[in-house]
Amino acid sequence: MKAIFLMLAISLLNLGFIPSNQPETFKHDRKLRRSESYWGLHFDRHVEVGDKNLGATLTEEMVDSIINLARPDFIQVDCKGHPGICSYPTEVGKQAVSYDKDPLALIRKVTDAHNVPLFMHYSGVQDKNYATLNPEEARFGPDGKPDGKNTSLWGPYVDKLLIPQIKELIEKYHVDGIWTDGECWSTHPDYQPAALKEFTAKAGVTVIPRSKEDPNYKAFLEFNRQKFIAYLNHYVDELHRFSPDFQICSNWAFSSLMPEPVTVNLDFLSGDFTPKNAVNTAAWQGRCLAGQGKPWDLMAWSFTGDWSTTNTMVTPKTALQLCQEAAGVISMGGGFQIYFRQNKDISFQRDGFGIMKEVADFMLLRREFCKGMQPVPQIGLLYSTAGWKNKVDVVYHGDTKSQEGILCALLDGQHAVEVLMTAQMKKRMNDFPVIVVPEWEVLEPEMITDLKDYVKNGGRLLVIGANGTRLFDDILGVKEVKPTEKREDGMGYDHRFVQVHNKYRGITCLPGTEPIAGFYATTDFQYRNGTAVTVSNYGKGMAAGIYADLGNTYQTNTSPVIRDILIDIMDRFFDGGMVKIEGSHKVHVVPGKIGDRLLVHLINTSGDHANPNVGCIDEIPALQNLKVSVVTDKKPKTVVLQPDGASVDFDFADGMVHFIVPELKIHTVIEFK
């Protein structure tokens, strides 16, 4: 095999796929648990019913090459995608037309030889083949008909196919775990007769809600959520009883799509984020997973495309682009994996091998400065479970664009931000010097009380949103004079304007409340149309309000005015926080600790990553001579830029370390020793 591998390596080298300095063999000392893992690869195919000759061009040498180049902690490969057809010769599920060899047995053999754990990509709730062949066991739509794609949580699918098939994978192939796809995000309100009978009995209703306009529709959504959690608990517990070391993840469970406390014994959390605007999306999704108390990772797609049309031509990303996406994930202490496509016969696409190696080089150099890092609390951004349930009309999905926009604006102002779901905020509220409530129109009553007490006792609170601020008018020191309406006013601040196409509310300041920005009928400061932003003292703390919805505007019409308003408020709250950057706003900042080691992550967010018309990026301008100031407990002995290991000169005065970062390419970790 070594001779064959050497010949393959030489041929790939001549084609530019394998760098000449790549070591021939990589092997872990032992298989890592997912809780220990940091870097991995994901492959899936979503085999169709007519596919044949699976495994035809797949070779052991091909899998060897991937492992030796990428040096992953784990690999995930396809076994059953959304169509419900299996990419291996299953004896339990639906086979493809033909197999030239058993692809899964081959991949398992090679990964075992390298001590690389093998996880399965398995489509759970969504199984088109099963739903088509068993329409009475499919999820029913509001019209009372099977939807032809998703299985019913009230049907026997989980016991009839899912659990037996995963047991087959464990027994026959000794796979290490499963990444179940098509789960919470593919769960929709189910109008199966069994579901309706149970709902009417529990809810005490006789009329079934079939649209969001109907009474009790929110209750019906919650009923479906509880059934999904019961479904998860059932198969997770059964598989753990069968194989205690088997590791299970349900894609996007307990994430931004499902913002609830973890109530299922999953071994890790994960999700694959959108291939476009991926840097900002990774920043949001990583922060939503980081506080859930489970090992977690995020998956980037190695390509982009437009799936809104029938033309799904894909554009591969560069390694540079993927490294920028990775930086936002690993800086929050999570793991990172990349989805590469498999060919129709389940073989791997050699053209991506060089990209795998380049990203691996970037990732592995940073492992000791990232894996398991815990952020230092600075700004806590509330993700209200009640606010989310009020906002959405689906079982599980995000609809958090406005909240994501607020996070982006804060991060672009070099603020360190964590996202805290309701249960986390209740436990950790007093850890954060500043809390932001981003455009939630409904909050848990006890959360409102707790936040007001937080400010009264010395905390700093920023509430954003026309309707969201109404919940806090008493501590904001304002009175409503005009109800919320949609307008297109300009917001004026510091002799500059930004037009906001969203909701506004008219307020007047009570004595002691300071206005710091206004609404204007046009881009002329002569035509003031109300107060947009205020700040006031309350008890021992401070409260600021922004009386318009800004998040979506920052996503679609990004303006430094919104960013700078937030900077002004944060400077008033706590003098800007633990870390200050001068020289560019294209830097995201994450201060954190691994044990007693203080680390500050800097991420270069320059480039076209947020441009919807750009699919592939091959240039990210490096940032030069950034002035950095960091609050520390004591004067450090050295300040080192990692992973390069370069020490920098610094000054220390009044509890702050001041120094210059000569160049920030993609991601640098500042280590204080």
DSSP code string of 183-240: SGGG------HHHHHHHHHHHT-SSPP-STTSTTHHHHHHHHHHHHHHHHHHHHHHHH
Q: Is 406 exposed, middle or buried (0-12, 13-18, 19+ CB in 10 A)?
A: buried
Q: How many CB atoms lie within 10 A of CB 597?
A: 13
Domain annotation covers residue 233: no
pLDDT at 2: 42
Domain annotation covers residue 664: yes
pLDDT at 69: 98
Same domain, 553 and 590: no
Same domain, 386 and 512: yes
Residue type, 59: T
CA 380, chain centre distance (Å): 17
Angstrom distance (rounded) from CA 670 to CA 600: 5
DSSP-assigned letter for residue 31: P
Identify the segments of the chain with pLDDT beneath 70: 1-23, 308-312
Q: CA dist 284 to 255, 290, 293, 328, 556, Å?
A: 10, 10, 17, 9, 16
CA atoms within 13 A on the CB side of 45: 26
Same domain, 255 and 389: no
Out of 370, 393, 415, a domain closes at 370
Q: Which residue has the tokens 């900002």?
A: 280
Q: Which residue has the tokens 């850890």?
A: 431
Same domain, 398 and 539: yes
C-alpha closest to that of 182 among 156, 160, 157: 157
What six digits make up the tokens of 337?
């994996």
Domain annotation covers residue 232: no
Angstrom distance (rounded) from CA 267 to CA 33: 9
Out of 552, 577, 602, a domain closes at 577
* CATH code at position 505: 3.40.50.880
Same domain, 449 and 596: no
Domain annotation covers residue 288: yes
Q: CA dist 659 to 337, 629, 646, 656, Å?
A: 33, 7, 13, 10
Same domain, 385 and 358: no
Same domain, 595 and 457: no
Q: What DSSP letter does each residue of 569-610 carry, written as one string?
A: HHHHHHTT-SEEEES-S-EEEEEEEETTEEEEEEEE--SSTT
If phi > 0 it is left, if psi is from -120 to 50 it is alpha, else beta; for residue 581 that is beta
Angstrom distance (rounded) from CA 60 to CA 621: 40
Say what the pTM is: 0.94
pLDDT at 575: 81
Angstrom distance (rounded) from CA 238 to CA 234: 6
Domain annotation covers residue 212: no
Q: CA dist 321 to 23, 277, 307, 341, 664, Å?
A: 25, 11, 20, 17, 15
Tally of domains within the chain: 3
Residue type, 372: G
C-alpha closest to that of 447 among 469, 424, 426, 418: 426
Angstrom distance (rounded) from CA 533 to CA 549: 12
What six digits make up the tokens of 292?
């859930």
C-alpha triplet 212, 215, 220: angle, nearest 5°: 70
Range of the domain at 650: 580-672
Q: CA dist 108 to 119, 173, 237, 672, Å?
A: 10, 7, 25, 43
Same domain, 566 and 592: no
Is the alpha carbon torsion for 195, 387, 278, 359 positive or negative? negative
Domain annotation covers residue 39: yes
Domain annotation covers residue 10: yes
Residue type, 491: M
Contact 617, 321 (CB under 8 A): yes
Per-residue model confidence as pLDDT tens digits over 318-374 = 999 999 999 999 999 999 999 999 999 999 999 999 999 999 999 999 999 999 999
Domain annotation covers residue 217: no
DSSP-assigned letter for residue 343: P
Angstrom distance (rounded) from CA 414 to CA 584: 9
Same domain, 567 and 584: no
Tell me if residue 637 falls in helix, strand or coil.
coil
* CATH code at position 632: 2.60.40.1180
Contact 433, 459 (CB under 8 A): yes
Which residues, 6+ apart, have CB-to-CB distance to 7 below 8 Å?
Answer: none
Same domain, 640 and 561: no
CA atoms within 13 A on the CB side of 466: 19
* CATH code at position 255: 3.20.20.80
- Please list the alpha-helical segments (H only) found in 16-173: 60-70, 103-113, 128-133, 157, 163-173
pLDDT at 1: 43
Out of 531, 557, 577, a domain closes at 577
Same domain, 274 and 382: no
Angstrom distance (rounded) from CA 375 to CA 411: 14
Longest dimension (CA), the chain: 83
Contact 666, 588 (CB under 8 A): no
Same domain, 566 and 648: no
